[in-house]
Amino acid sequence: MNELNVRVGVGVVVIHDGKVLLGKRKGSHGAGTWAFPGGHLEFGESFETCAEREVFEETGVKIKHIQKITFTNDPMPLENKHYVTCYVKAEMDEGDVQIMEPNKCEAWEWFAWDQLPEPLFIPLLNLLKEGINPTK
């Protein structure tokens, strides 16, 4: 992949009991920061299909009631990357949250929107700047 291309990511705000699911990233850009499950949009894939696939691959959980909410522009000059992150929100449907990709994520935890951990992944910081609360 040419790192000078802008990539499209999908960030999935999984909501359960009024809290959002965040994972602590490792082994990639943003290592050590907290982020929503999600990943790269594949060629020909819808945002909803990408959200279902990525959440299941990363957490073992199925989601429902997927809704598009917003997008962020996320240049990461120190890492020579640039993403446009499309955000969707969804409810947890079934399954138990597990670390399915231990090389990419060291923990999954539920957080109240007003008690997010630090440090946060750049796209999540940019989402907060939008002033959106997806849990409402």
What tokens appear for 39 in the block?
A: 């990943």
Q: How high is the pLDDT of residue 42?
A: 97
pLDDT in tens, 26-76: 988 899 999 999 999 999 999 999 999 999 999 999 999 999 999 999 999
Q: How high is the pLDDT of residue 5?
A: 92
Place of tokens 């630090």: 118
Q: Cα–Cα distance between 136 and 132 in angstroms, integer?
A: 9
**Average pLDDT estimate for 118-124:** 97
Indicate the pTM of the whole model.
0.95
Q: How high is the pLDDT of residue 93?
A: 98
Are 97 and 62 in contact, with CB atoms under 8 Å apart? Answer: no
Nearest to 99 by CA among 91, 109, 86: 109
Band of pLDDT at residue 3, cut at 50, 70 and 90: low
Residues 6+ apart with CB under 8 A from 130: 70, 72
Are 40 and 9 in contact, with CB atoms under 8 Å apart? Answer: yes
Q: Cα–Cα distance between 124 and 113 in angstroms, integer?
A: 12
Band of pLDDT at residue 97, cut at 50, 70 and 90: very high
What are the structural domains of the chain? Answer: 7-129 (3.90.79.10)
Q: Cα–Cα distance between 54 and 50 in angstroms, integer?
A: 6
**Average pLDDT estimate for 91-114:** 97
Q: Cα–Cα distance between 64 and 14 in angstroms, integer?
A: 9
Q: How high is the pLDDT of residue 41?
A: 97
Q: How high is the pLDDT of residue 1?
A: 46
